[in-house]
């Protein structure tokens, strides 16, 4: 994401790329343009490998960081705590890196653009550069940060980012759990602020008031679509830059269905030709009109093309060339057979590697996929020899296991029925762009929020890992397939809305970055609003209630 931001900056911009590289998920370090300056802290080691392995296995057992169906299961919070401590320690070592200190002392920075989530040490380090800042979120807009911009996000009303609760309404129990999760985030952020104060003092660096520094940031930007965001008060410093995604779904089409054979006969058109139509005559001095009373329904064949606008006006030579390339590069997919075969695409993202799942959960997933009438193509993000569980079971003929699949080309395929996915933010953006419905299996982080938003929008059905362990996935798939056309219709509507929004905001990210470079220093030291967050009143109220109840309970036990 951040590389795309840099590539969109004005030509000739002097860019320095600063990164801490702590975990390897198979992609290695990002390749950068040769003219950029790179300052990377390499922290990938055996401890990092073990965190990836243990965390990867835990993803297939429970939702992380907190499984809201089993909040008493503390394995997720313990795993995330290890990551936060490791991030903090790595950041402290990075602060001693001579390259960073040299940059801090010698360079004059016009604009800082950084991506961070619960890495408050890096957030404080960025503030040492004393320059206008744009903070990015590789998640949706996170309410933990917008509160620093004085935007209300009270947990009694708005579901916290990372919770699987609906923005259309929560039960009383859900509001309580939402509040407790909100407190955990507050505690984690204040603990990191305390660590930062101690660390910066030991290193003779100026102390940074993290929350005041966040409040001074010019823009807080997300990668998510504005359409996708939960309903909350609007602030002009919060931006949704998914419109900067320059993907055109038509550029990934490999198969053009024969749209000319698709009937589109309106029942009302038939009624006009039928003697059985109910007609009302309306006469006036000027004219006589006939009004036909009929239901506006459209009759299609069973093989209706769901997204005809996607396949109109394409260059068939380019499409055929893409078809040949995909068929050659991915022979296991048998791309030629998919022209006449309906299929489901399964992908759980780069963090969820199938090699770490147990035999039991693998068996449950394979069984669920085998019950579908469609072919199931599962992108496992693991090499075949790493999938040791395949040695203990027979893979049904309708299931294809592949390490990596051409996801965008498959999303544009006319025979794709739907997607089963984790609901990462990039996947969500692509679904809205391509107009594809999904069954969301949320595993960690923001994914619970993401799939819940899609469900609220009517294009997704959600299921947790707990319910998959309870053998509910075949039921969910069957229900989803029975109502599949309504999900496709809604996905098509949202895709059209997304496309329109992109046309209106195509250059928004580049505009605001350029604007921040030009005007950032003028605004940097201005106080634009009250620094105290209004919602702190509610936090103080609930903390006071908790203290009073705890005191009364202690007195009763005495």
- Per-residue pLDDT tens digits for 55-83: 889 999 999 998 998 888 999 999 988 98
C-alpha to C-alpha distances, 243 to 70, 272, 451, nearest whole angstrom: 37, 44, 20
Q: What is the pLDDT of residue 378?
A: 97
Mean pLDDT over residues 116-120, rounded? 78
Q: What is the DSSP letter of 383?
A: -
Phi, psi of 61 (to 5 degrees): -115, -35
Residue 240 binned pLDDT confidence (cut-offs 50, 70, 90): confident
* Highest mean pLDDT (candidates 28-32, 36-40, 264-268): 36-40
Higher pLDDT, 276 or 385: 385
For residues 293 and 345, the answer to whether their CB atoms sit within 8 Å is no
Look at residue 106 and tell me whether its pLDDT is greater than 50: yes
pLDDT top residue among 223 and 232: 223
pLDDT at 395 over 90: yes
Q: Tell me how far CA of residue 445 lies from CA of 4, 51, 64, 450, 554, in angstroms.
A: 23, 16, 6, 10, 36
Q: By mean pLDDT, which of 107-121, 226-240, 296-310, 519-533 is the weakest?
A: 296-310
Torsion of CA 239, 493, 502, 254, to 10 degrees: 130
Q: Which domains can be identified in the chain, with CATH numbers?
A: 265-299 (no CATH), 331-501 (3.40.50.2000)
Pick the residue with more confidence: 411 or 5? 411
pLDDT of 237 reads: 86
**pLDDT given for residue 282 in this prediction:** 36
**Which among 32, 437, 503, 432 is positioned nearest to 246, based on CA atoms?**
503
Which of the two residues, 475 and 106, has the higher pLDDT score? 475
**pLDDT for the residue numbered 302:** 40
Q: Are the C-beta atoms of 253 and 412 separated by less than 8 Å?
A: yes
Asked whether the CA dihedral 251, 253, 259, 264 is positive or negative, the reply is negative
Q: Kindly compute the dihedral angle of the four CA atoms of residues 488, 490, 494, 496, in this order, to the nearest 10 degrees.
A: 70
Q: Is the pLDDT of residue 261 over 90?
A: no
Average the pLDDT over 439-458 and give the result: 94
Q: If you average pLDDT over residues 253-282, what whole number do you get?
A: 51
Model confidence at 1: pLDDT above 80: no
pLDDT at 271 over 60: no
What was the pLDDT predicted at 303? 55
Say if residues 149 and 238 touch (Cβ distance below 8 Å).
yes
pLDDT at 174: 94
If one compares 81 and 148, the residue with the highest pLDDT of the two is: 81
Mean pLDDT of 38-45: 80
Residue 2 has pLDDT above 80, yes or no: no
pLDDT at 265: 38
Query: pLDDT at residue 227 above 70?
Result: yes
Residue 123 reports pLDDT greater than 90: no
What average pLDDT does range 398-412 have in this prediction? 95
**Summary mean pLDDT of the chain:** 83
Average of per-residue pLDDT across 460-464: 96
407 pLDDT above the threshold of 70: yes
* Residues 118, 65: Cα–Cα separation, whole Å: 12
Is residue 287 pLDDT above 50, yes or no?
no
User: Can you tell me the mean pLDDT for 310-318?
Assistant: 93
276 pLDDT above the threshold of 80: no
Answer yes or no: is pLDDT of 274 > 90.
no
Q: Mean pLDDT across the stretch 182-199?
A: 86
Angle at alpha carbon of residue 507, lines to 221 and 241, rounded to 5°: 20
Of 267-276, 341-350, 511-520, where does the model show the most confidence? 341-350
What does the pLDDT read at residue 536?
59
**The pLDDT of residue 290:** 40
Whether pLDDT at 539 is above 80: no
Whether 530 has a pLDDT exceeding 60, the answer reads no
pTM (global) more than 0.75: yes
Cβ 466 vs Cβ 67: under 8 Å: yes
Q: Over 50: is that where the pLDDT of 312 sits?
A: yes
What are residue 138's phi and psi, to 5 degrees? -80, -5
Between these two residues, 294 and 332, which has the higher pLDDT value?
A: 332
Reported as a pLDDT band with limits 50, 70 and 90, residue 343 is very high
Query: What pLDDT shows up at residue 254?
Result: 96
Place of tokens 């893409």: 322
Q: Is the pLDDT at 439 greater than 60, yes or no? A: yes
User: What pLDDT sits at residue 84?
Assistant: 87
Q: Which has the closest alpha carbon to 528: 536, 537, 518, 519?
A: 519
């Amino acid at each position: 994401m951040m590389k795309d931001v840099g590539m969109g900056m004005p030509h000739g911009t002097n860019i320095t790329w600063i990164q801490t590289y702590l975990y390897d998920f198979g992609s290695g370090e990002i390749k950068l343009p040769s003219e950029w300056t790179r300052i990377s802290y390499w922290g990938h080691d055996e401890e990092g490998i073990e965190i990836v392995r243990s965390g990867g296995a835990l993803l297939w057992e429970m939702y992380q960081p907190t499984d809201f169906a089993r909040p008493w299961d503390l394995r997720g919070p313990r795993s995330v705590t290890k990551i936060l401590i490791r991030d903090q320690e790595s950041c402290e070592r990075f602060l001693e890196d001579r390259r960073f200190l040299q940059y801090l002392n010698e360079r004059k920075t016009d604009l800082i653009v950084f991506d961070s989530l619960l890495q408050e040490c890096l957030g404080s380090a960025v503030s040492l550069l004393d320059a206008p800042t744009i903070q990015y979120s590789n998640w949706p807009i996170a309410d933990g940060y917008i509160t620093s911009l004085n935007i209300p996000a009270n947990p009694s009303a708005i579901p916290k980012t990372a919770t699987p609760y609906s923005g259309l309404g929560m039960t009383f129990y859900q509001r309580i759990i939402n509040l407790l999760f909100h407190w955990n985030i507050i505690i984690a952020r204040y603990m990191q602020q305390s660590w930062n104060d101690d660390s910066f003092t030991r290193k003779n660096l100026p102390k940074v008031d993290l929350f005041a520094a966040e409040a001074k940031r010019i823009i807080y930007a997300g990668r998510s679509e504005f359409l996708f965001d939960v309903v909350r008060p609007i602030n002009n410093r919060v931006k949704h830059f998914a419109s900067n995604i320059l993907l055109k779904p038509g550029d990934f089409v490999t198969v053009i269905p024969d749209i000319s054979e698709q009937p589109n006969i309106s029942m009302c058109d038939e009624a006009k030709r039928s003697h059985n139509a109910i007609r009302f005559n309306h006469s006036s001095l000027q004219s006589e009109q006939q009004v036909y009373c009929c239901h506006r329904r459209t009759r299609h064949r069973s093989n209706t093309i769901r997204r005809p606008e996607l396949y109109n006006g394409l260059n068939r030579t380019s499409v055929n060339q893409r078809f040949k390339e995909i068929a050659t590069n991915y022979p296991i997919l048998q791309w030629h057979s998919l022209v006449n075969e309906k299929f489901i695409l399964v992908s759980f993202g780069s963090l969820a590697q199938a090699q770490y799942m147990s035999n039991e959960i693998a068996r449950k997933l394979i069984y669920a996929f085998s019950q579908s009438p469609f072919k199931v193509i599962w992108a496992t993000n693991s090499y075949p020899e790493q999938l040791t569980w395949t040695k203990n079971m027979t893979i049904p003929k309708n299931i294809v296991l592949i390490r990596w699949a051409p996801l965008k080309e498959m999303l544009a395929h006319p025979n794709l029925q739907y997607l089963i996915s984790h609901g990462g933010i990039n996947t969500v953006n692509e679904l809205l762009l391509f107009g594809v419905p999904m069954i969301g299996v949320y595993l960690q982080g923001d994914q619970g929020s993401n799939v819940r938003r899609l469900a609220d929008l009517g294009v997704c059905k959600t299921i947790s890992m707990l319910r998959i362990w309870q053998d509910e996935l075949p039921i969910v798939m069957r229900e989803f397939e029975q109502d599949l056309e309504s999900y496709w219709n809604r996905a098509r509507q949202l895709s059209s809305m997304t496309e329109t929004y992109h046309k209106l905001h195509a250059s928004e990210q580049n505009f605001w970055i350029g604007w921040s470079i030009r005007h950032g220093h003028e605004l940097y030291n201005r106080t634009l609003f009250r620094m105290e967050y209004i919602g702190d009143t509610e936090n103080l109220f609930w903390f006071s209630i908790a203290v009073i109840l705890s005191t009364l309970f202690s007195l009763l036990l005495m």
